Amino acid sequence: MKICTVSGQIISTEKNRRLSGYPLLTLDILEPDGTLTGEELAAFDTIGVGIGERVLVTIEGDAAVQLIRHKDAPVDAVIVGVVDKVEMLSREDKSK
């Protein structure tokens, strides 16, 4: 899973019929602290997010296909949630 910011939408006049109803969005991948990694990603939106929102993305074919609900859908990245807040444990907390 990755935390990302929605940066845009890809408009496609033709796409696989199994993906009808799922917008394809462009995403900027973030570090857990919110800084940009410089990497980008395209993912299908299953929850209805907008540009500028911070989202949680699964990048795993089987999970993505289950969310699209078509076993033959050609998908590997799907937006699965909106990120409201990220809390990081300190290194001291992790060692306990």
**What's the pLDDT tens digit per position in 4-51?**
999 999 888 877 776 777 788 999 999 988 999 999 998 989 899 999
Which residue ranges make up each domain of the chain? 2-94
Residue 79: CB atoms within 10 A of its CB come to 25
Residue 59, pLDDT score: 82
Architecture of domain 2-94: Beta Barrel (2.40)
Q: Are 30 and 54 in contact (CB under 8 A)?
A: yes
Q: CB within 8 A of 82, min separation 6: which ones?
A: 47, 49, 53, 54, 55, 56
Type and span of the H or E element at 54: strand 54-59
pTM: 0.78
What confidence score (pLDDT) does residue 5 get?
97
Contact (Cβ atoms closer than 8 angstroms) between residue 4 and residue 37: no
Per the CB < 8 A criterion, the answer to whether 77 and 57 are in contact is yes
